Amino acid sequence: MNRLLIVVNVDWFFLSHRLGIAKKAKAAGFDVFIACEDTGRAQEIEKNGLKFMPLNFSRSGTHLWEELGVLRQMYNLYREVKPDIVHHVTLKPVIYGSMVAKGLKVKGVVNAIAGLGYNFTGQRRGLLFYILTNLMRFGMNRENLAVIFQNKRDFNELNELNIIKSKNLVFFTKGSGVNLEKFSFSLQPEHSIINILFPTRMLWDKGVQELHDASMILKEEYYGEIKFTLAGLADDGNKVGVPAEFLEKWSDGLYVEWVGYTQNMLELYANSNIVVLPSYYREGMPKSLLEACSVGRPIITTNSVGCEECVDDGVNGYKIPPRDSRSLANALKRLIDDRSMRNEMGVQSRKKAEMEFSEQTVIDKHMEIYGKLIDK
């Protein structure tokens, strides 16, 4: 039986973004191992017939001894599991795992570039960026390695940096896809208050400050008529994490409510009228926007990498410039004031999800990739 090891940073991300792929691989005859940090959901992984392996990634990435410790963990893990294919998801597993897999001569490697993250954003390209890109060049310079991108701009950047090699297999998927049956279409709710949902981790780069400022711009005109719901954890360990104190001060429970993390996102989407993500983070393709499309909600996002693919401007929502609170407020105002537009854009979102974002299409593509690596 071929062994598949999927390496992800944390358990909840695996469950929301890669569980369907792992279950399909198991059904196809793979012995599937999942390596990630356990935040309390390891048993949920194991209940799906998958073998859980604890793996703790450091958060900062700037302390040499911590990073060497992560590499040692991964080396020992790969030696223990002896995978035929190792599938790395998100940037740190890709960088470190590729080097370990190369050193141990793992037969096949899949690197999923789910966005390039903090160090590839804007003017942050210092020494760490130089180190990371060189490590990627080393680890990915090998045969029987597939790279999965979620948008063309990430591919173009890594290609220009000479990280992608001609010997690599390159594939594209529309993010992680969305379960069209679970996130089924629903009509706009008939609330007296229009609910604007912001579903993401609370990071500055996700547009928290811009949404805050836009909400203040709209407050005098729309207080009592609209409500902003912030659904996501504060991430104090992240370099661009928004302090919980900021969110608590902003949230009054009436005009703005921070609900934190919830597993029942479907209910939040169903109760929302508009979904907003003014991100300038180096996204792959945000899962939250794929889910919002599937449920049939108009979307306001930016023309930043990863986000721009989720919206056809003026059709199923609006794309605005990043870091532009005034444009965000204006786009929100257009949708707040026009119910028929919200309805029509919601229908178009669902059509886009059905045509482009099906999770089953993404799962089938992964099975094709695994097959190519095993057969080679």
Q: Tell me the CATH number at 154.
A: 3.40.50.2000
Angle between helices 91-103 and 64-81 (to 10 degrees): 60
b/e for 3-24, b at 16 or more Cβ within 10 A? Answer: bbbbbbbbbbbbbebbbbbbeb
Inside any domain, residue 59: yes
What b/e string do you get for 301-338 counting C-beta neighbours within 10 Å, with b at 16 or more?
bbebbbbbbbbbeeebbbbbebbbbebbbbbbbebbee
Please give the residue range of the domain that contains residue 70. Answer: 3-177+358-375
**Same structural domain for residues 129 and 163?**
yes
For residue 320, being part of any structural domain is answered with yes
Residue 268 located in a structural domain: yes
Residues 50 and 79 in one domain: yes
Whether residue 182 lies inside any domain: the answer is no
The answer to whether residue 184 sits within a structural domain is no
Position 303 scores a pLDDT of: 95
pLDDT given at position 301: 98
Q: pLDDT, tens digit, for every residue of 172-191?
A: 999 999 999 999 999 999 89
Q: Are residues 131 and 202 in the same domain?
A: no
Asked if residue 39 belongs to a domain, the reply is: yes
Same domain, 81 and 222: no
Q: Report yes or no on 189 lying in a domain.
A: no
Q: Could you give the number of structural domains in the chain?
A: 2
241 forms bridges with which residues in the sheet?
203
- Per-residue model confidence (pLDDT) at position 122: 57
- Residue 46 and residue 26 share a domain: yes
Cα 97 to its chain centre, rounded Å, is 19
Residue 88 and residue 203 in one domain: no
Q: Do 87 and 200 belong to one domain?
A: no
Predicted local confidence at residue 238, as pLDDT: 82
In contact, 110 and 86? CB cutoff 8 Å: yes
124 part of a folded domain = yes
SS3 216: helix
Residues of the chain with pLDDT under 50: none
Q: Are 85 and 127 in contact (CB under 8 A)?
A: no
Q: What is the pTM of this model?
A: 0.89
**Model confidence over 35-55: pLDDT tens digits?**
999 999 999 999 999 999 999
Please tell me whether residues 240 and 274 are part of one structural domain: yes
One domain, residues 10 and 151? yes
274-292 burial: b if 16+ Cβ within 10 Å, else e:
bbbbbbbbbbbbbbbbbbb
pLDDT of residue 117: 65
**Are 11 and 154 members of one domain?**
yes
Are 221 and 370 members of one domain? no
Q: Are residues 130 and 233 in the same domain?
A: no
